[in-house]
Structures are given as C-alpha cells and as structure tokens.
Amino acid sequence: MTGKVQENQRQRAPSKRSLATRERIFDAAEQLFAERGFEGASIRDIARMAGVQGALVNHHGGSKEVLFATIVARRADELSRLRLEALAQMQAQMQASGALTLRQTLSCFITPFIDKTLNGGAPWSAYGRLIAHVSSDPRWRHISEACFDPTVAVFLDEISKVLPQASRETLSTHFVFTVSSMLSLCTSRWRIEALSAGSAESDLLETLLDFCEAGFTSAGQHAQG
C-alpha cells in the first residue's frame, strides 16, 4: 500500500518542463501586472507573453485574482528574509553598545528593497512597481497583511524602542509615509531626473534615509511636546 502511495506521489510531482512553464507564466504575469495594473493585464496577454495557451495560465495560476496574489507573494518571502537578516546582523554588531539607532533600523528595512529593485534586474524592478500597485489599492489589503505586515510589525517594535514616547498610531502613520517614499524612489526616479534637469544624484538611498529619519524624529519630538 505504501509503495502505491509513493508511486502516485511520484506521478503527481511536476516535471521540470511543467515547472519551467509555470515560472515563465509567473514572470509574464509579474511584468504585465506591474506595467498595466490588475485590470490592464488580461489572461490572454499573459499567455501570449509566456508563449502558452490561456488554459495553462489558469492551470498553473488559478483565477486572475489568485494569480495576482501568488505573484506578489512569490518574492515577498525573500524580501522579508533579507530585511530580517539585515536587522539581526545589525543587532549583533551593536550588541555591546545597546539598541539600534533609528537610522540603522530604517536602513535594514529600506536598503534590501532598494538594492533589489534598482540593482536586481528587470524582474525585481517589475516587482517594485507591482508592490506600488498593491500598496495604493485597499482591495489588496489582505495581500499586504499576509505578505508584508508581519515583517513591518518587527520593525515597528524596533522603532518603538528608539521613540518610546510616540504612539503606535503615530509610528504606523510615519511608517506608511516611509514605504510610500521608498516606492517612489523605485517607481518615480525619472521624475526626480526630469525636475532636476537630468542632474539627480546617482545614489539617492542616503537622501531617502535622511528624509525618512527626519520624519520619524519629528514625530518623536511632537510626542514629547
């Protein structure tokens, strides 16, 4: 009996070809969702870009809503891991001197995202634009809550240690502002270059950290006042 179960499991295991087809579909969906948003990317267009029949998109991805959620979740685990690893490494370095500074904590959250979306190639660049769609539309709240909020809660706890006088609501508000600024650097760098007549800084990460740190610092000062 056991041997038959194991044989059935082997039969059900996806082939390398099937896995490659699924990844091609997911890559196409990611790019089109990022470029056109949820409504603008059709299953037919995803299938055409992936070079498959539309039925295969449904087979590997499910409904359009399920496919969209899957595409967002696909890289979320890696991003969360990079952020938490950066935080753990920084905590280990600072163990002798005490708690992390506000800027160090913000850097552990922001830097992995900026590094991936600006330097990780076309798929990560598309993913950054996709997250901007998710963050701006309340109907995807359940996706944000599942994919990103657990990690955000860890960082809010760390920021609370630095700014204990600020309420959780205030810190959460400034964190959303921080995420919006981070996404803007990923998706709207061209606007910075346009407004500065093509003379934008080559590396704006430190400028972004300055901006976000100042916002949180101001929140802490207002709470004291």
Identify whether residues 199 and 113 lie together within a single domain.
yes
Q: Give me the CATH number covering residue 23.
A: 1.10.10.60
Q: What beta strand segments (E) does 22-117 contain?
A: none
Host domain of residue 21? 9-62
3-state secondary structure of 133: helix
Residue 205 scores a pLDDT above 60 = yes
Please tell me the predicted confidence (pLDDT) of residue 200. 59
More confident residue, 162 or 222: 162
Q: What is the pTM of this model?
A: 0.87
Q: Cα separation of 49 and 126, whole Å?
A: 15
On whether residue 1 sits in a domain, the answer given is no
Distance from CA of residue 127 to its chain's centroid? Answer: 7
User: Using CA atoms, how far apart are residues 208 and 182, in angstroms rounded to an integer?
Assistant: 7
- Name residues whose C-beta falls within 8 Å of residue 34's C-beta, 6 or more positions apart in sequence: 126, 127, 128, 129, 130, 133
Q: Are residues 107 and 204 in the same domain?
A: yes
Q: Are residues 127 and 213 in the same domain?
A: yes
**How many structural domains are present in the chain?**
2
Q: Which residue in 120, 114, 124 sits closest to 183, CA to CA?
A: 114
Q: Which of 109, 130, 112, 126 is nearest to 216 (CA)?
A: 109
Domain identity same for 157 and 99: yes
**For residues 50 and 68, what is the distance between their CA atoms, to the nearest angstrom?**
15
Q: For residues 219 and 106, what is the distance between their CA atoms, to the nearest angstrom? A: 15
pLDDT tens per residue, range 9-18: 455 667 888 8
The residue among 177, 186, 183, 187 whose CA lies nearest residue 211 is 177
Residue 37 pLDDT greater than 90, yes or no: yes
